[in-house]
Amino acid sequence: MNLPKEFVSYTRDLMGEKLFSTLEKGLKQDPVTSIRINPYKLKERRFQIANLDESVAWCKHGMYLKSRPNFTFDPLLHAGVYYVQEASSMFLEHVLRQILDETPILMLDLCAAPGGKTTVARSILPEGSLLFANEPIRTRSNILAENIQKFGHPDVIVTNNYPKDYKKTDLLFDIIVADVPCSGEGMFRKDQGAIEEWSQKNVENCRNLQREIIQDIWNNLKKDGILIYSTCTFNAKEDEENVDWIVNELGAEYISVDIDNNWPITPSLINEHPVYRFIPGKTKGEGIFMAVLRKTSGKERKEKEKVSKNKDTKNKIKIDTSCIKQPENYELCTDHDQVVAIRKKWLSIYKKATTNLKVIHAGINLGTIKGKRIIPSQSLALSLELNRSYYPTVSLTYDEAISYLRKEPVPLPDGTPTGIILLTYQDVPLGFEKNIGNRANNLYPQEWKIKSSHIPDGNNNIILFE
């Protein structure tokens, strides 16, 4: 690995010879592989992890694997049973566990794609909380929405906006996670492109952009609200110096997070303020930086009522909501030709969001209106709120599941009723087919399908049910 000379010079001076030598060695090592299980989808099932190395110390649901399997060909990944995530970024779970109590909150993950930190947060937020997940880049926001739907929790709203767009809303958040775009030094060993794109000028550009992002969203954070600032880079300009700028210029105070002394987490490299660095070679994972701040001053958005363009669907088409659990808790809204179920307690916030933000997923997408019928969506199939008894069910073999995920027609057993059929794998919902008698139409989303024509060897399951 040929590191940029300017990076080497600056980082050696910042870290000191010993720590920089550790980083150099770490960057030459192979990246480690880690996953995080979805506690909601494995709540009542006993299981083991194939190829397990050890648990991630700061994340209850995180685990290192001994080697990287072919995740693409594990149906349970596509079903949202687990998520492939770099272990250092799972530190967010430990941070949230220290600052949360049982009080429901409104939280924003500001730069959320592909969804790792969002699903970390959603797995431990108090019941009755609502989570916004935002990504400004359209293609990345689609990936975020896909991963949120696979995770299955209904109390998430996904938006495709720049932080400044939130200024137009009166949404006030108790916690904002800002994993801001950065120069990507922490990804050097995983991404050769990050090395090639690095420059001192890019570092300066990123530092300025990060400040602009935090400034844009600051008034949407409640007084005494929490900002969790993070990057995947090593330099102090984007890390410690930017956090000091937030504290001094916007009005905040540092929050110290208790950590185990055995965890190889590096403190601040330029002062005594509590921040948390993960450095490859010292920590088993990639490089990240994280700081936790409490807002002490600054203006807030004043709440005001706005009229949403969304309309109730009840008078347009008869919809049987028995396909979800406790339908009495949900209100139906339309988004073009989509029928969306929003928990009633979040309806006013949802309508506020849709007034000034580009909402690309929210609640449970029940399906697409086709004439007087609704074609059920993948969001419903993977939702934790799916009423499984509503649809006839067919269990798939491994090979059938891979065919289904390639959007190939999967023959159904003789005697299968006509209509919508729920397909499962290892008793986990995978998606829908429509049985029309002589054949079945695969309803898996075209944009989600496995595109590889490779034929996998054997069974690639990571989760082994007992």
Residues 21, 408 contacting (CB under 8 angstroms): no
Residues within the annotated binding site for S-adenosyl-L-methionine?
111-117, 135, 179
212 Cβ contact partners less than 8 Å away, ≥ 6 residues apart = none
**Rounded Cα gap, residues 429 and 382, in angstroms:** 6
Residues within the annotated binding site?
111-117, 135, 179
Cβ atoms within 10 Å of 216's Cβ, excluding its own:
16
**Rounded Cα gap, residues 21 and 39, in angstroms:** 38
Task: Given the residues 182, 206, 232, 333, select the one marked as catalytic.
Answer: 232
Task: Compute the half-sphere exposure of residue 393: CA atoms within 13 Å on the CB side of its CA.
Answer: 14
Tell me the helices (H) and strands (E) count for the chain, helix number first: 12, 23
3-state SS string over 179-244? ECCCCCHHHCCCCHHHHHHCCHHHHHHHHHHHHHHHHHHHHHEEEEEEEEEEECCCCCCCCHHHHH
**232: annotated active-site residue:** yes
Nearest to 110 by CA among 246, 224, 187, 217: 217
**Rounded Cα gap, residues 335 and 383, in angstroms:** 18
Rounded to an integer, what is the distance from CA 18 to the centroid of its chain?
35
Nearest to 3 by CA among 156, 194, 144: 194
Ramachandran sector of residue 437 (left: φ over 0; alpha: ψ -120 to 50; beta: rest): left
Angle at 383 between CA 379 and CA 384, to 5 degrees: 175
Beta-sheet pairing, 106-109 with 173-179: parallel
Residue 365: in which H helix or E strand, if any?
A: strand 364-370
Cβ atoms within 10 Å of 111's Cβ, excluding its own:
23
Residues 125, 153 contacting (CB under 8 angstroms): no
Rounded to an integer, what is the distance from CA 283 to the centroid of its chain?
22
Residues with catalytic function: 232
